[in-house]
């Protein structure tokens, strides 16, 4: 009995050392190999807490076979390695591969015309340098960059569960409405050292393949600028079927006038492009362009020093070329033309009237409050303004299907109607 107690104490001490100093023993090993601590814990729970193997598998979130393997004996060697190749070495990719990756990363970091240094950029440069050599998968490239200390940990994205739970109509926007969807957004205001004047940009982004991100420096966030830059984009790359923008005055128009067709809307409709307005004050509804704006800030604006507007334009052109290379954008084949139906979409979240302090559900479309059933409060809806019929349809997406929950007369403002040529 005394002998067993002594063995138990020694074993317990050994486990504590491994658990508390595990990083010391497994430093430099990939995540796949950092299992010593987990193996010891599984063994300890089985032999000294007398938990069942199924309970341990559930508690530690591992396969039952893993538990069986590491509970064969109370004095197993937890650092035992059955991989079949030398410890601390990769099974397939040799040190020459790592050296090439490090050299490519150094080149991409130091070349002023390059702005991307991650796994995808490494893969593209590898293909141009070593077309005959097999390239590691992107995941392996990322792991090697991490081990070499050449990458920063990625931030976890926001949970999209709430938007999905509240029936945000993303599927309908990208699949039901039909055609390519472009997102556009103003970026500002930025400042450079020694200058008091703000600097503005506009960004364009395709979320779906073929993907594209493109940025231009602009004078101001106005309707004229938006129209000019859209014309340039449509000519240079492609004209989309739809364009999603936020509710800035430059795009949506008057902050007080009701049922107006803004100059930006008029331009898009006459170009046979359908405007879609994102949810006000909900950046996730512009996820693609907001994500690209982050890339713009991280890889371009925050990484370079600029002296004047001309310097910015020159380097921004480098960045755009690097982005085209990174996304491998090529214009898609043009689909057959279909009859254009002039309409405008508004993505809105149903609110309750706080002024009256009662749950009266409504959405705001062009400064008009549209009442809806109270059971839609907090949910998202898609409002469709048919300009030929002058009707507003309110759609609700459920299980990737749109259902019309309301239809009302929605006349075009007379001042807008006289200027609109459809």
pLDDT at 88: 58
Tokens of 319: 């960045």
pLDDT at 81: 62
Under 8 Å between Cβ of 276 and 246 = no
Q: Which of 266, 336, 327, 271 is nearest to 295 (CA)?
A: 327
Each of the 422 residues of the chain gets a pLDDT tens digit; together they read 444 454 445 445 444 444 444 333 334 444 455 678 898 899 999 998 889 999 999 998 888 888 998 898 888 887 776 655 565 566 678 889 999 999 999 999 999 999 999 999 999 999 999 999 899 999 899 989 998 899 877 665 555 566 778 899 999 999 999 889 999 999 978 998 888 889 999 999 998 999 999 999 999 999 999 999 999 999 999 999 999 999 999 999 988 889 999 999 999 999 999 999 999 877 766 766 778 888 999 999 998 989 999 999 999 999 999 999 999 999 988 766 678 999 999 999 999 877 665 668 999 999 999 999 999 999 999 999 999 999 999 999 998 999 999 999 999 998 887 677 76
**pTM score of the predicted model:** 0.74
pLDDT at 112: 92
Phi, psi at residue 199, to the nearest 5°?
A: -115, 130
Beta-carbon contacts of residue 102 (< 8 Å; ≥ 6 apart)? 148, 150
pLDDT at 93: 82
Tokens of 403: 């259902």
pLDDT at 237: 96
What span, in angstroms and rounded, lies between the C-alpha atoms of 422 and 420?
6
What span, in angstroms and rounded, lies between the C-alpha atoms of 301 and 305?
8
pLDDT at 338: 73
């Amino acid at each position: 009995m005394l002998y067993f107690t002594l063995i138990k104490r020694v074993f317990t001490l050994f486990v504590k050392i491994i658990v508390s100093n595990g990083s010391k023993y497994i430093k430099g090993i990939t995540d796949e190999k950092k299992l010593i601590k987990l193996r010891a814990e599984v063994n300890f729970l089985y032999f000294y807490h007398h938990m069942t193997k199924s309970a341990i598998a559930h508690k530690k979130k591992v396969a039952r076979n893993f538990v069986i393997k590491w509970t064969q004996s109370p004095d197993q060697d937890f650092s035992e390695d059955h991989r079949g190749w030398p410890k601390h070495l990769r099974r397939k990719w040799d040190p020459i591969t790592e050296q090439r990756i490090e050299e490519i990363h150094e080149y991409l970091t130091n070349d002023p015309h390059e702005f991307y240094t991650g796994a995808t950029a490494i893969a593209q440069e590898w293909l141009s340098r070593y077309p005959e050599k097999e390239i590691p998968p992107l995941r392996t490239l990322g792991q090697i960059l991490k081990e070499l200390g050449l990458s920063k940990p990625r931030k976890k994205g926001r949970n999209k569960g709430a938007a999905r739970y509240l029936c945000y109509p993303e599927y309908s926007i990208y699949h039901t409405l039909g055609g390519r969807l472009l997102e556009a957004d103003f970026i500002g205001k930025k400042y450079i050292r020694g200058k008091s004047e703000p600097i503005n940009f506009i960004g364009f982004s395709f979320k779906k393949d073929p993907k594209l991100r493109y940025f231009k420096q602009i004078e101001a966030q106005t309707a004229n600028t938006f129209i000019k830059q859209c014309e340039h984009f449509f000519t240079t790359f492609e004209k989309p079927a739809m364009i999603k923008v936020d509710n800035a005055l430059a795009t949506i128009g008057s902050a007080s006038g009701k049922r107006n067709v803004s100059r930006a809307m008029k331009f898009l409709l006459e170009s046979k492009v359908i405007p879609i307005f994102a949810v006000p004050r909900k950046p996730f509804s512009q996820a693609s362009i907001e994500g690209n704006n982050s890339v713009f800030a991280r890889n371009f604006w925050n990484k370079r020093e600029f002296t004047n507007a001309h310097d910015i334009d020159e380097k921004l052109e480098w960045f755009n070329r690097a982005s085209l290379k990174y996304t491998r954008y090529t214009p898609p084949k043009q689909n057959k033309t279909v009859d254009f139906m002039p309409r405008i979409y508004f993505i809105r979240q149903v609110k309750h009237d706080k002024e009256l302090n009662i749950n009266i559900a409504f959405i705001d479309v062009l400064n008009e409050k549209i009442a809806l059933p109270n059971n839609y409060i907090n949910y998202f809806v898609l409002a469709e303004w048919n300009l030929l019929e002058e009707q507003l349809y309110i759609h609700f997406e459920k299980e990737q299907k749109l259902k019309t929950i309301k239809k009302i007369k929605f006349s075009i403002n007379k001042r807008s109607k006289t200027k609109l040529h459809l």
